[in-house]
Amino acid sequence: MKRNVSCCLSVLIGLIIVLTGCSDKKEYTNAVPADTQVLARFDLVAIAQKSGLNDKENQATKGKLMDALKEGMGAAAYKQMEKIIADPAESGLALNQPVYLFSSRGLPYPTLLIKVDNEEKVTATLEAMASEQLCKKPVEEGDYYFTTMTDGSVCMYNEGTFMLVSGTANAASIIKFVKYLFSE
């Protein structure tokens, strides 16, 4: 009897390994190009803890930041930013996961890579930014969305990956290259 149960458990564990290994879900770090020359990894949770960002003495600073935001933006955008400051997960980005900054031969601009937890929340955040003319409204194209920021930066994201390519001169060629990275 014991042998029969252990045999069944072994088969079940093997099946689970095979099924999870064949999943269609792509890891966001797969978007880092193979020819990357510079790569930095940031743990935002550890940075926030070590800097004392969530300490009681910094609550007054957060209040001042919220007041400054309220004065400088419309009601809808302020409401979205207020939600994000209260709970960063409202941005739709997995800020509790490593954030990567890289540059490569094929993409020679500082590029930020963040895991996406909720694509709809990312879209809502960027739409709030678009209402303040900080970027264009996100456009859906196939399996991903893209937008351009007012400084020329290109932002592309899908259900698992958010990529911001800083200050690019040729957005069309960058979008083409990032599409390729998203398909990896």
Q: Which of 170, 134, 179, 139 is nearest to 33 (CA)?
A: 179
Residues 40-71: pLDDT tens digits? 999 988 888 887 777 777 777 777 777 777 77
In the DSSP assignment, the letter for residue 158 is -
The pLDDT confidence band at residue 5, using thresholds 50, 70 and 90, is very low
Which among 89, 113, 83 is positioned nearest to 101, based on CA atoms?
113
Q: Rounded to the nearest 5 degrees, what angle is found at the Cα of 151, between the Cα atoms of 39 and 110?
A: 10
- Tokens read off for 71: 């004065």
pTM metric for this prediction: 0.77
Residue 169 banded pLDDT, cuts 50, 70, 90: low
- Give tens-digit pLDDT for 80-117: 888 887 888 999 999 999 999 999 888 888 999 999 99
In angstroms, the Cα distances linking 180 to 51, 82, 132, 174 are 37, 35, 30, 10
Determine the residue type at 78: Y
Q: Which two tokens stand for residue 172?
A: 């069309």
| The residue type at 100 | Y
Query: For residue 19, what are its two tokens?
Result: 């099924």
168: confidence class by pLDDT, cuts 50, 70, 90: low
